[in-house]
Structure 1
């Protein structure tokens, strides 16, 4: 499987699920996992994007430990993708606008949790490695980026 084929599979999964699990490390090096709403942005290859509030703890966690892992899966759990990479925390109006075009409709929970603020940051995960699983078929393939 090529990087392009894998990115297409990720895009297909996200079009229906609109969710993934992001694993980070806290300041003490302990794992933290949370549901997020990631997206692929066309023209920005080999990256996954999400948004967060500048006030959320994950921002400080990511500044200290940028290595992360994502798990994205179909609702039927017949396709699962684990992505490893490094996150860049971006505070740029242009990228915020671009990512919001892709994610705007799916951020209902984010705005409920972040009611007092309208500001947000973009989390850009630069993918280094991805593993695609088909558990029911016993298939597993890893692609390095």
Structure 2
């Protein structure tokens, strides 16, 4: 499978499920998972985007340890995709606007917890490797993305 096929699979799962599991690592080396509302932007196919509050624990963890993993699954659990990459926090207003436009309708929970729409940063994850697992077929595929 080519890199573009893997990217297409990620886009399809994000579009269908509207959620992904983001894993970061804390200062003691322990992993932390949380459900996020991600997006991919057409002009930037090798990146996954989400938003967070700049003072959140995940933001601190990303600042201190940029290696992260995203997990996406189909609603019937017949496809699971894991994405390894490096995340950075971006405060660029234009990128914030673009990401909010892509995921805004799916952020109901986020806005209940984070009421200040100006107090956000973009989590930008550059995709380094993708692993696809098809449990019903017991098939696995792995690809580094360059």
Describe the SS at the equivalent of 1:27. Answer: coil
* Superposition misfits of 4+ residues, deviation over 4 angstroms: none
Describe the SS at the equivalent of 1:55. Answer: coil
Q: Which residue of the partner structure matches residue 46 of structure 2? A: 46
TM-score between the two structures when normalised by the length of structure 2? 0.95
Instruction: Please state if 1:94 is matched with 2:82.
Output: no
Instruction: Please state if 1:107 is matched with 2:129.
Output: no
User: What's the CA shift for 1:45?
Assistant: 2.2
User: What's the CA shift for 1:138?
Assistant: 1.0
> What is the CA deviation profile of residues 49-103 of structure 1, one whole-angstrom value per residue up to 9, with x for unaligned ones?
1100112111111111000011100110101100001001100001101111111
Q: Which residue of the partner structure matches residue 64 of structure 2? A: 64
> CA separation in 2, counterparts of 1:12 and 1:106?
16
Instruction: Please state if 1:120 is matched with 2:116.
Output: no
Structure 2: runs of 5+ lacking an equivalent: none
> CA separation in 2, counterparts of 1:11 and 1:45?
9
> What is the CA deviation profile of residues 89-119 of structure 1, one whole-angstrom value per residue up to 9, with x for unaligned ones?
100001101111111101111101112x222
Q: How does 1:15-26 map to 2 (within 5 A)?
A: 15-26=15-26
Number of corresponding residues: 144
> What is the CA deviation profile of residues 16-69 of structure 1, one whole-angstrom value per residue up to 9, with x for unaligned ones?
110011110112211111000111110102111110011211111111100001
> CA separation in 1, counterparts of 2:122 and 2:56?
12
User: What's the CA shift for 1:127?
Assistant: 0.7
